[in-house]
Structure 1
Amino acid sequence: MSGQLGEPVGEVAAYRPDWVVWWGKLTGSYWAMPNWPGAPREMVEAPDVAILDERMTEVEDRYPRRSEVTWRGQMQAPAEIRVRR
């Protein structure tokens, strides 16, 4: 991401790989949206990357990530499970 979008965006994207990060040319702001299984549909906006990082942390604190096992455990199990030995 860093080449076309600028170094600050690339640094944030590399530091937070579970987020989609971009620069809004028309708004003049940085934007980010969480991108992990079960992530909230919430975008954060900030005038600089330091504030963006703080706001991303706030979202992560409000919506703690679940482990993949827990997340998969919430999926509906098939009616019959066969165990191979």
Structure 2
Amino acid sequence: MLEARLLAEYFDVMTAADGYTSLAICERNQVDLILLDIMIPGIDGFEVCERLKSSQKTAHIPVVMVTALDQPSGRVRGRSAGR
């Protein structure tokens, strides 16, 4: 749904089906913003975010974490993953 909306607004969108692919896309391409679901196959969104923020090449990219999780602990973990 987000992809369709962004494409309709003429944004270039790259999608990944799992955490490992998302990391590879970010390493190989110039990315301005990452919309990251927490619950994805492979490694979860928290781990993807932690890896992105620990890499000098991708640490500057803003990450917006999207989730259906409603527990406060998930929000806290997401914030700490992005530091």
- TM class by shorter chain equals under 0.3
TM-score scaled to structure 1, two decimals?
0.26
Q: Relative contact order, CA 8 A, sep 6+: which one is greater?
A: 2
* Bigger helix fraction: 2
TM-score scaled to structure 2, two decimals?
0.27
* Bigger strand fraction: 1
